[in-house]
């Protein structure tokens, strides 16, 4: 019996992992310049946390959570997203008493039982931020800018940042009521897809971003006339756009972006990359001004986003598992048994000096060892034969120029460091 990865999960092998490391390092650097500190929350939470925050009628809660009972019969869920756990942590650790305004970032796996396809996994990684404790439109603009900068720094091109204004809770309720009436009417209901027929009664806002053509046509025909935003929410959104214009951040306003999680109010946004096909959302977020108080915390505004790293790598063309740059600087190639002991010592010294190196463990011919060095993309091969041991020096071969120089054992680490810079 050979075991395999669970459907919708995958291994990230070393050649691909270097791409992940680059992305994570770039994200950490960027977050630092914007004043974000890292938060790490458990991957398991009480199921109720997501039901209450993401919303009972959402696809995530209805169909996609990995939920189970633990041995103590507690209801547990593998986190499908990061916002709810971070809000829980903000409240549970009383972070507001230290500093009510908190800028937090996270990198980690999320779990959703969706039907796997290209760019859609059951375990996927998000990089996200949550800025909790401010109602300022400058914060929405900054959060959107951070997401755009992040995508730019990852080398993602041709994405569109779509923005929309959902309004406050009252506005959303107003819109929801109007849409419910509209979409449950016999004439319109008859042409909606089966999902939207159900949503029309339970979560009519979701009909707005349905991808089925007949639903899209209905929405485009009737939605334009609906006025639901209050003056405060209109002004807030105008100010967000003003800050984005000021910093020349690119966006388009798309009135059909509603997002699949219930906690959003006011600004919502989504970055999509058309070249990715069906799963083209590479990152998304928005404001959630009622979530903190709904979960038992203070009444305070918040805004955040999460990007999907798996999709970003596909969009940036690095998801193909190509070998990254060389893993080692020096491949140590001993020739003969006596030389092996010396080479083993040299290897330890070089590593001690911070030089990445490896050795042949099998006592093979120089030709085979050169082949291994090539595979590892080593910059240098350090050849140590019995002759070299007697002379007290080793031959350092540059794998690009094929030049070879002899260096005394005492001077090896310094000389190699000088060459690799």
Q: Which residue is nearest to ligand HAM (CB)?
A: 308
Residue 78 three-state SS: strand
Please state the closest distance from residue 412 (CB atom) to ligand HAM, in A. Answer: 47
R_g of the chain, CA atoms, integer Å: 28
Residue 414 is classified by DSSP as H
Where would I find the beta strands (DSSP E) of 211-274? 252-253, 265-272
Ramachandran class of 69: left when φ > 0, alpha when ψ lies in -120 to 50, beta otherwise: beta
Q: Which stretch binds ligand HAM (CB under 6 A): 123-131, 162-170, 315-323, 382-390?
A: 123-131
114 binds ligand HAM (CB under 6 A): yes
Please state the closest distance from residue 50 (CB atom) to ligand HAM, in A. Answer: 10
Give whichever of 309 and 396 is closer to ligand HAM, judged by the CB atom. 309
285 binds ligand HAM (CB under 6 A): yes
Q: Which helix (H) or strand (E) holds 281?
A: strand 281-287
Give whichever of 303 and 407 is closer to ligand HAM, judged by the CB atom. 303
Give the burial class of 48: count Cβ atoms within 10 A of its Cβ; 0-12 exposed, 13-18 middle, 19 or more buried: exposed
Out of 102, 126, 165, 267, name the contact with ligand HAM by CB under 6 A. 126
In angstroms, rounded to a whole number, what is the distance separating the alpha carbons of residues 103 and 302? 10
How many Cα atoms sit within 13 Å of 12 on the Cβ side? 16
Give the burial class of 418: count Cβ atoms within 10 A of its Cβ; 0-12 exposed, 13-18 middle, 19 or more buried: exposed
Out of 283, 297, 334, 385, name the contact with ligand HAM by CB under 6 A. 283
Please state the closest distance from residue 339 (CB atom) to ligand HAM, in A. Answer: 51
- CA 210 from chain centre, in angstroms, equals 24
Q: Which stretch binds ligand HAM (CB under 6 A): 32-40, 181-189, 277-285, 377-385?
A: 277-285
284 binds ligand HAM (CB under 6 A): yes
Contact code string over 236-265 relative to ligand HAM, x by CB under 6 A:
------------------------xx----
281 binds ligand HAM (CB under 6 A): yes
Please state the closest distance from residue 81 (CB atom) to ligand HAM, in A. Answer: 3
Give whichever of 112 and 206 is closer to ligand HAM, judged by the CB atom. 112
Q: Which stretch binds ligand HAM (CB under 6 A): 13-21, 133-141, 281-289, 313-321?
A: 281-289
In angstroms, rounded to a whole number, what is the distance separating the alpha carbons of residues 412 and 3? 46
In angstroms, rounded to a whole number, what is the distance separating the alpha carbons of residues 262 and 268? 11
Q: Which stretch binds ligand HAM (CB under 6 A): 121-129, 186-194, 320-328, 341-349?
A: 121-129
121 binds ligand HAM (CB under 6 A): yes
Q: Which helix (H) or strand (E) holds 292?
A: helix 291-294
In angstroms, rounded to a whole number, what is the distance separating the alpha carbons of residues 347 and 345? 5
Out of 286, 297, 319, 385, name the contact with ligand HAM by CB under 6 A. 286
Q: Which of residues 66-105 bind ligand HAM (CB under 6 A)?
A: 81-83
Where would I find the beta strands (DSSP E) of 177-241? none
Give whichever of 55 and 304 is closer to ligand HAM, judged by the CB atom. 304
Count of C-beta atoms within a 10 Å radius of residue 42: 11
Give whichever of 285 and 385 is closer to ligand HAM, judged by the CB atom. 285
Count of C-beta atoms within a 10 Å radius of residue 370: 19
In angstroms, rounded to a whole number, what is the distance separating the alpha carbons of residues 51 and 4? 31
124 binds ligand HAM (CB under 6 A): yes
- To 10 degrees, what angle do helices 47-54 and 83-92 make? 110
In angstroms, rounded to a whole number, what is the distance separating the alpha carbons of residues 44 and 40? 12
In angstroms, rounded to a whole number, what is the distance separating the alpha carbons of residues 201 and 193? 13
Give whichever of 182 and 261 is closer to ligand HAM, judged by the CB atom. 261
301 binds ligand HAM (CB under 6 A): no
Q: How many of the chain's residues bind ligand HAM (CB under 6 A)? A: 26
134 binds ligand HAM (CB under 6 A): no
319 binds ligand HAM (CB under 6 A): no
Residues 50 and 86: beta-carbon distance below 8 Å: no
282 binds ligand HAM (CB under 6 A): yes
Please state the closest distance from residue 259 (CB atom) to ligand HAM, in A. Answer: 7
Out of 204, 301, 304, 319, name the contact with ligand HAM by CB under 6 A. 304
Rule CB under 6 A: which residues touch ligand HAM? 81-83, 112, 114, 120-121, 124, 126, 128, 130, 260-261, 281-286, 304-308, 310-311
């Amino acid at each position: 019996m050979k075991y395999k990865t669970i459907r919708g999960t995958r291994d990230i092998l070393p050649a691909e992992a270097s791409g992940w490391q680059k992305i994570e390092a770039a994200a950490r650097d960027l977050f630092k310049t914007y004043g974000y500190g890292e938060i790490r929350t458990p991957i398991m939470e009480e199921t109720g946390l997501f039901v209450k925050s993401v919303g009972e009628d959402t696809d995530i809660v209805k169909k996609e959570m990995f939920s189970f009972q633990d041995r103590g019969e507690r209801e547990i869920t593998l986190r499908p997203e990061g916002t709810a756990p971070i809000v829980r942590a903000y409240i549970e650790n009383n972070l507001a008493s230290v500093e009510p305004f908190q800028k937090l970032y996270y990198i980690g796996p999320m779990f959703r039982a969706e039907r796997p396809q290209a760019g859609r996994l059951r375990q996927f990684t998000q990089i996200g931020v949550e800025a909790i404790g401010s109602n300022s439109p400058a914060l929405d603009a900054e959060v959107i800018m951070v997401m755009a900068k992040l995508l730019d720094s990852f080398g993602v091109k041709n994405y569109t940042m779509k923005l929309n204004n959902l309004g406050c809770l009252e506005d959303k309720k107003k819109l929801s009521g109007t849409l419910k009436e509209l979409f449950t009417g016999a004439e319109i209901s008859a042409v909606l897809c089966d999902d939207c027929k159900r949503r029309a009664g339970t979560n009519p806002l979701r009909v707005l971003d349905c991808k089925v053509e007949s639903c899209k046509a209905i929405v485009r025909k009737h939605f334009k006339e609906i006025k639901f935003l209050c003056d405060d929410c209109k002004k807030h959104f105008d100010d967000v756009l003003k800050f984005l214009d000021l910093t020349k951040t690119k966006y388009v306003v798309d009135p059909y972006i509603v997002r699949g999680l219930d906690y959003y109010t006011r600004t919502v946004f989504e970055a999509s990359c058309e070249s990715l096909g069906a799963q083209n959302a590479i990152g998304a977020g928005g404001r959630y001004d009622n979530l903190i108080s709904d979960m038992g915390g203070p009444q305070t505004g918040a805004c955040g986003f999460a990007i999907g790293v798996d999709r970003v790598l596909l969009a940036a063309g690095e998801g193909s598992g190509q070998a990254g740059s060389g893993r080692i600087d020096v491949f140590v190639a001993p020739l003969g048994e006596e030389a092996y002991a010396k080479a083993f010592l040299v290897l330890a010294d070089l590593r001690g000096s911070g030089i990445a190196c490896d050795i042949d463990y099998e006592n093979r011919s120089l030709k085979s060892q050169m082949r291994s060095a090539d595979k590892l993309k080593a910059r240098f091969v350090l050849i140590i034969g019995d002759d070299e041991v007697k002379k007290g020096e080793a031959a350092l071969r540059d794998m690009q120029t094929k030049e070879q120089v002899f260096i005394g054992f005492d001077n090896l680490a310094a000389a190699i460091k000088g060459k690799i810079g």
